[in-house]
Amino acid sequence: MDRMEFGTLVSLLRQDRDFTQFQLHEASGINLAVISQIERGVKKYFEPELLIKLANSLHLTTVERREFFLAASGVKQQYIIRQPSAALATDTVDIVKVLGKMTQLIEKLNVPAFIMDVYSDVLALNNMAFAFFQPTPEMMLSAHNTPGGFTTVRVMFGKELAVRSKITENWEQYAVGSMRFVRENSLRYRAKPYFQYLMKAFRDQNEYPLFDRYWKMVSSTEQDREANSDTFSYTHADFGPIIYATATTTSITPHGELFLNQYLPLDEHTRAVFAELEKKAGLGVLPPLAPWPKKDFL
């Protein structure tokens, strides 16, 4: 991320807090002129104390702070991975192989599992995950022509209320935890044109009526997390009381991280539910969903 892009990121994070530059100055103690220089991409060196003040005043979560500090390093994503050379062969630059390996893995898992990118686009999901989330045929048919159509955000916070209509108890905990995952994984990419395109759609109250509330709630909630795992416990309209942990495997690519999420049952009832899903839906994976790494804009 270069300095111009980092400046845009700081500006977006400031606006998320509904701060003017002056209000950020008051909250952080950072000189107003310095804030302006950062957002315009003029300031080239960031002292550690400056970055810490920004992270504190922007109310970033622990994982968001890590991503924020990495963004401030100025190192572009393609240089984070190990660089190939004549003496070194590596698959990390081969995006087809990277995604292929992850897809083969979820195809064989006997728990709900799916793969998403930094924009929350679902690239692949197994049959059990499809049976668990129960997206409607209309959602699947319209996904290619809907901004954010293949994102987890649509399933959780879109007007179809695909998940909200099924969770009858402990929805708030589920919604905040899910949105935190979206926010944390997207932080270094929020200045990208595709993410801005998605955010314009997500902030349309008619299409995503639940989005804005939970997007803002993540930064204001006292609960934080130190690991890329969550435990969800809620009552599902079809499956009854469900409790599972999310286990996330991260693959680092030149085009951003890929996240393989699998749901690990934590009680006998949930194990029985997942076993029934496997029996009915079988193992296997759906055809490719969202495009990656190239993104199509409508």
Please say if the pLDDT value at position 298 is more than 60.
no
Flag whether 291 is in a domain.
Answer: no
β partners of residue 251: 258
CA distances from 206 to 78, 133, 212 (A): 37, 22, 12
Is 288 inside a domain boundary? no
State the chain's mean pLDDT as an integer: 93
Residue 293 lies in a domain: no
My answer on whether 32 and 114 are in the same domain is no
Is the pLDDT at 233 greater than 80? The verdict is yes
Dihedrals phi, psi of 166, to nearest 5 degrees = -95, -25
Q: Report pLDDT for 93.
A: 79
Dihedral over Cα of 61, 212, 114, 81: its sign: negative
On whether both 273 and 200 belong to a single domain, the answer is: yes
pLDDT score of 13 more than 80 = yes
The verdict on 52 and 170 lying in the same domain is no
Domain count, the chain: 2
Whole-angstrom Cα distance, residue 229 to residue 101?
Answer: 22
> Which pLDDT tens digit goes with each residue over 121-156?
999 999 999 999 999 999 999 999 999 999 999 999
117: pLDDT confidence band, cut at 50, 70 and 90? very high
Confidence check: pLDDT of 35 > 90 = yes
Query: Which residues lie closer than 8 Å to 138 by C-beta, 6 or more apart?
Result: 160
Shared domain for 31 and 121, answered yes or no, is: no
Does one domain contain both 182 and 46? no
Residue among 17, 277, 292 at smallest CA distance from 132? 277
Let me know whether 147 and 53 are in one domain: no
- Quick: pLDDT tens for 177-209: 999 999 999 999 999 999 999 999 999 999 999
Q: What is the mean pLDDT of residues 66-70?
A: 97
- CATH code, 45: 1.10.260.40
Per-residue confidence at 85, pLDDT binned at 50, 70, 90? Answer: confident
Amino acid occupying residue 146: T
* Domain identity same for 55 and 128: no
* Nearest-10 Cα torsion for 204, 175, 264, 266: -160
Residue 92: the pLDDT is 77
- Give the strands of the sheet with 167-169, arranged side by side: 122-125, 113-117, 258-265, 240-251, 231-236, 167-169
CATH number of the structural domain spanning residue 149: 3.30.450.180
Task: Let me know if residue 196 belongs to a domain.
Answer: yes
What global pTM score does this model have? 0.93
Q: Note whether residue 246 is domain-resident.
A: yes
Q: Which of 258, 288, 199 shows the shortest CA–CA distance to 77?
A: 258
How much is the average pLDDT of 94-116?
Answer: 95
Which of 40, 75, 110 finishes a domain? 75
Residues 99 and 71 in one domain: no
Task: Give pLDDT tens digits for 257-294.
Answer: 999 999 999 999 999 999 999 999 999 999 889 999 99
According to the model, what pLDDT value does residue 227 have?
A: 72
Residue 45 confidence class, pLDDT cut points 50, 70, 90: very high
Q: Domain span at residue 70?
A: 3-75
Q: Do 226 and 181 share a structural domain? A: yes
**Does pLDDT of 67 surpass 70?**
yes
Residues 110 and 7 in one domain: no
